[in-house]
Amino acid sequence: MEKKEKKILGMTQDEFRLFRKRYGIAMVMVAMIIILSIVSPTFRTAGNVVSIALQVSINGILALGVVFVITAGGIDLSIGSMLALTSVIIGLVLNATGSIPLACIVSVAATTFCGFVNGALIAKFNMFPFVVTLSTQLVIRGLGYVLSGGYSMSLANADFKMIGAGKLAGIPYPVFIWLAVAVMAYLLMHWTKFGRYIYAVGGNINAAEASGVDVFWTRTKSFVISGFCTGVAGIIMTSRISAAQPNIGVGYETDAIAACVIGGTSFAGGIATIPGTMIGIVIIGLIYNGMNLLGISSYWQTITKGLLIIGAVMLDMFTNKRK
């Protein structure tokens, strides 16, 4: 199989290796799309494509934030709690002032600040990201409960509802927001000095420091980005359920991290691409959507997702010759 392909595409071994490294996971995605198109007629419909995009938009924005953290050699487990915090703050501000922009700004500022705290603790005191975000996750979740008194608030504001439910040319607003975040993430990661520093810090923190990279700020900023993206995703989520709830978002970090890993992000840091992450996001969306369409129980969705992550990590190891 592989040999044939090599001949057809006329690539040398090195070129092929590069090709596989870059497009291996994209091929998996294409294969999934082809298989699903064949077995499920519903899958091909325009309506379903739009649904998939809508369904992945929240996780997509989360993954685009957390990919910066993982690439810089960290991990962010506090995403789920930050979603709940966003939701609660929107509820409080919106019910008190009725101003949508204010609600959005305050909530995103709050999660961005949470990200800063995460990053600063980790980068300043050299603590393990896993442990720090594991504990801030609890703190932030608790904060959400304290602010809300534990109760969920219904949001009657119809304009706010439109953020999640509105459509332009048949495409829901969250999809546009997701794509806009993706473009920004792409530029930031691949076209700026900061993006390079993220790669360098994740790839070899000592070499980065010895090359004059401001390691503290680079690591901190990666968490700030994750916090910001989580805030944006939280706005969409709150709008879609049109309720402010302190108990939402549990376990959302898993899917976001999974999307990054499936998209070729190395957990050791230093290796990731935004297009790859987008593919990872879509693949997770395909698993959910495809299996729902085929009537496969959600138990199998979980298993498939797990196996795919292991597969993606193995792919990463072999293509990058890591041990």
Partner 1 sequence: MENSYILECEGISKAFGGTQALADVELHIKKGEVHALLGENGAGKSTLMKIIIGLYKADQGSITFEGKPYSARGPADAMAAGISMIHQELNPEPYLTIAESIFLNREDVKKGIHFLDKKKTNERAEKILREFDFPKGARTMMEDLTLAQMQMVEIIKAVSCDSRVIIMDEPTSSLDSEETEHLFGTIRGLKEKGVAIIYISHRMEEIFEICDRVSVFRDGRYVGSREMEGVTTKELISMMVGRTVENVFPKQECPIGDVVFRVEHLSGKGFEDISFEVRAGEILGISGLVGSGRSETMRAIFGLDPLTGGKIYLEGKEIVIKSARDAIAKGIAMVNEDRKTYGLCLFRSLRENISLPNLKRKQKRFILNQRREKEEVLEVSKKLTVKAAGIEADAYSLSGGNQQKVVLSKWIMAEPKVLILDEPTRGVDVGAKSEIHTLMCRFAAQGMAIIMISSELPEVMGMSDRILIYHEGRLNGEVSRREILSGGVTQEVILAKEFGGK
Partner 2 sequence: MRNRKKLTAVLLTAMMALSLAACGGGKEETTAPETKAAQESKAEEPAQTKAEEPAKTEAEEPSGAAAGGDVNGDGKIIVGYIAKNTVDAFHATLNKTAEEKLDALVSAGTIDEWKMLDGQSDPIIQCNLLEDALNMGCDLIVLLPAEAAGSAPILDRCNEEGIPCLVVNSMTDNTEELATAFVGSDDVQAGEMMAEFVQSAFPEGGKYAHVQGVIGNSAQIQRSEGIHNVLDADEGWEMMDEQSGEWQAEKAVRFAEDWLGRWGDELLAIICEDDGSSAAVQTTMNSKGRTDMVCIGVNGEAAALDMISKGEMQATIYQDGAGQVGKAVELIPDILAGKSVEKSYMIDFVLITKDNVDQYK
Residues in contact with partner 1 by the rule CB under 8 A:
14, 18, 187, 191-193, 196-197, 199-200, 203-204, 206-214, 266, 270-271, 320-322
Q: Give whichever of 21 and 240 is closer to partner 1, judged by the CB atom.
A: 21
Q: Give whichever of 22 and 161 is closer to partner 1, judged by the CB atom.
A: 22
As measured in angstroms, the least distance from the Cβ of 123 to partner 1 is 14
- Beta-bridged to residue 243, according to DSSP, are 154
CA–CA dist 290, 294 (Å, integer): 6
Question: Where does this chain touch partner 2 (CB under 8 A) — which range of 94-102, 104-112, 132-140, 292-300?
Answer: 292-300
As measured in angstroms, the least distance from the Cβ of 237 to partner 2 is 6
As measured in angstroms, the least distance from the Cβ of 19 to partner 1 is 13
Is residue 182 close enough to count as binding partner 2 by CB under 8 A?
Answer: no
Which of partner 2, partner 1, none is residue 230 near (CB under 5 to 8 Å by kind)? none
Residue pair 283/29 in contact (Cβ under 8 Å)? The answer is yes
CA–CA dist 96, 249 (Å, integer): 24
DSSP assignments along 180-249, one per residue? HHHHHHHHHHHHSHHHHHHHHHHH-HHHHHHTT--HHHHHHHHHHHHHHHHHHHHHHHHHHHTEE-TT--
Alpha helix positions (H), the chain: 2-9, 13-39, 46-71, 79-97, 100-125, 129-148, 158-165, 173-191, 193-203, 205-210, 215-241, 252-262, 274-293, 298-319
Which pairing describes strands 167-168 and 243-244: parallel, antiparallel, or unpaired? unpaired
Is residue 126 close enough to count as binding partner 2 by CB under 8 A?
Answer: no
Q: Which two tokens stand for residue 50?
A: 């739009």
Is residue 151 close enough to count as binding partner 2 by CB under 8 A?
Answer: yes
Question: Where does this chain touch partner 2 (CB under 8 A) — which range of 51-59, 108-116, 176-184, 206-214?
Answer: 51-59
Which of partner 2, partner 1, none is residue 154 near (CB under 5 to 8 Å by kind)? partner 2
Is residue 167 close enough to count as binding partner 2 by CB under 8 A?
Answer: no
CA–CA dist 111, 59 (Å, integer): 16
Q: What is the largest CA-CA distance in the chain?
A: 66
Contact footprint for partner 2 (CB under 8 A): 1-2, 17, 20, 24, 28, 31-32, 35, 39, 42, 45, 47-48, 51, 54-55, 58, 150-155, 161, 164-165, 237, 240-248, 250, 288-289, 291-301, 303-304, 307-308, 310-311, 314-315, 318-319
